[in-house]
Amino acid sequence: MLNTQLRGVLEGMPKAELHIHIEGSLEPELIFALAARNNVALPYASVEDLRAAYAFTDLQSFLDIYYAGASVLLHEQDFYDMTAAYLKRAEQDNVRHTEIFFDPQTHTARGVPVKDVIDGIHRACQDSPVSATLILSFLRHLSEEDAFAVLEEALPYRDKYIGIGLDSSERGNPPEKFARVFARCKELGFRLVAHAGEEGPPAYIETALDVLKVERIDHGVRCLEDPALVERLAREQMALTVCPLSNVKLCVFPEMAQHNLLELLDAGVKVTINSDDPAYFGGYMNDNFIATFEALPLGLSHAQRLARNGFEAAFLPEAQKQQLLAEVDAYFASLAF
């Protein structure tokens, strides 16, 4: 068991969340409330029935249910309510800054205007005391042409999101499939990230870096299969946005005790802890920290390192970043053990 002092430190420390899919924060209760409000039929009889389906064997088995859950989102207010609920939870976990992924293609495919998606999410961010920015993510199981089309549709609202990401089914959809659209996004001045090395091979991490020119790798845990790549990630201080509960739920690791987060930290890689899809994977930020620290031999110095890594890897103006890092250090300096 985690000692109560360390648990309290993890809960109270200021955090940055850099890997959260807003559609993955939809709790079953809200899915059912929105389905009733919007007259959407769900293939599940009840909240309990839906929750019982959350027994995943791999990424695709999760994505199938995740896209079904997102089908209740139709109006600007729905996107607002979903985002407001997540931000309230994040605030309770002492998340001070969050960079939120959204998947516009999941919604435009159902006829929802991209403007309503972005406006609803963005309005909730503005109404929250938590610092929050947005990252538009392309679905990698769709074509690059589709990604170009949604980018075009979303460009009139570009003041409301700061970055571009790449998510969905990784295997068979390597980063280089999106080389041209990422080059265009770089020209446009967006911050760039991509999921790589979650289920896909270490080579996908390399092409995300070398072809897409991303500034952070989402997940990236399979890098450990390639020692030269680990050395490179450490040398370049390339951040990995690791999601421990997600990795266990999607069977990337059989159990938390086998997670490679500590090995990555020991190799000098800039690891951060994040929730990915908290409504589906059994927890928000504090749950992820607690589950990880319970299973692995991690202590106070790791907690401070992980909290600092989150802010160091954030796409924040330098002054705000330094202020938040100073808050982390002041928090740890004030602990009287």
Per the annotation, where are the binding residues for substrate?
277
Residue 242 to residues 74, 82, 197, 223, 291, Cα–Cα distance (Å):
30, 23, 10, 12, 13
Residue closer to ligand ADE (CB basis): 166 or 264:
166
The annotation places the binding site for Zn(2+) at: 19, 21, 195, 276
Residue closer to Zn ion (CB basis): 81 or 276:
276
Contact pick of 136, 276, 316, 325 for Zn ion (by CB under 5 A): 276
Residue closer to ligand ADE (CB basis): 19 or 302:
19
User: Which of Zn ion, ligand ADE, none lies near 24, with the C-beta cut-off 5 to 8 A by kind?
Assistant: ligand ADE
* Residue among 233, 281, 236, 284 nearest 260 (CA): 233
Q: What is the C-alpha to C-alpha distance for residues 162 and 295, in angstroms, rounded to an integer?
A: 35
Work out how close the CB of 91 gets to ligand ADE at its nearest, in angstroms, rounded to a whole number. 22
Work out how close the CB of 165 gets to Zn ion at its nearest, in angstroms, rounded to a whole number. 8
Residue closer to ligand ADE (CB basis): 57 or 237:
57
Work out how close the CB of 191 gets to ligand ADE at its nearest, in angstroms, rounded to a whole number. 18
Residue nearest to Zn ion (CB): 276
Q: What is the C-alpha to C-alpha distance for residues 254 and 153, in angstroms, rounded to an integer?
A: 41
User: Which of Zn ion, ligand ADE, none lies near 274, with the C-beta cut-off 5 to 8 A by kind?
Assistant: none
Residue 67 to residues 30, 139, 168, 216, Cα–Cα distance (Å):
15, 11, 10, 25
Work out how close the CB of 297 gets to Zn ion at its nearest, in angstroms, rounded to a whole number. 26
Q: What per-residue string of b and e applies to 119-154 under the rule 16 or more CB within 10 Å gives b? A: bbbbbbbeebebbbbbbbbbbbbbebebbeebbebb
Q: Is 318 left (phi over 0), alpha (psi -120 to 50) or beta?
A: alpha
Catalytic residue among 170, 198, 199, 206: 198
The answer to whether the CB of 99 falls within 8 A of the CB of 315 is yes
**DSSP code at position 142:** S
Helices (H), the chain: 4-12, 28-38, 47-52, 59-70, 76-92, 104-108, 114-126, 144-154, 179-187, 202-210, 227-235, 244-249, 261-266, 278-281, 285-295, 300-312, 318-333
Note the residues at the interface with ligand ADE (CB under 6 A): 21, 24, 59, 66, 167-168, 195, 198, 246, 276-277
User: Which of Zn ion, ligand ADE, none lies near 78, with the C-beta cut-off 5 to 8 A by kind?
Assistant: none
Residue closer to ligand ADE (CB basis): 21 or 122:
21
Residue closer to ligand ADE (CB basis): 168 or 286:
168
Work out how close the CB of 168 gets to Zn ion at its nearest, in angstroms, rounded to a whole number. 9
Position 27 contacts Zn ion (CB under 5 A): no
Work out how close the CB of 77 gets to ligand ADE at its nearest, in angstroms, rounded to a whole number. 23
The annotation places the binding site at: 19, 21, 195, 276-277
How many other CB atoms sit within 10 Å of the CB of residue 41? 7
Structure tokens at 264: 């990555």
User: Which of ligand ADE, Zn ion, none lies near 59, with the C-beta cut-off 5 to 8 A by kind?
Assistant: ligand ADE
Position 99 contacts Zn ion (CB under 5 A): no
Q: Is 187 a catalytic residue?
A: no
Q: What is the C-alpha to C-alpha distance for residues 155 and 115, in angstroms, rounded to an integer?
A: 10
The SS3 call for residue 71 is coil
User: Which of Zn ion, ligand ADE, none lies near 17, with the C-beta cut-off 5 to 8 A by kind?
Assistant: none
Position 103 contacts Zn ion (CB under 5 A): no
* Residues making contact with Zn ion (CB under 5 A): 276
Active site residues: 198
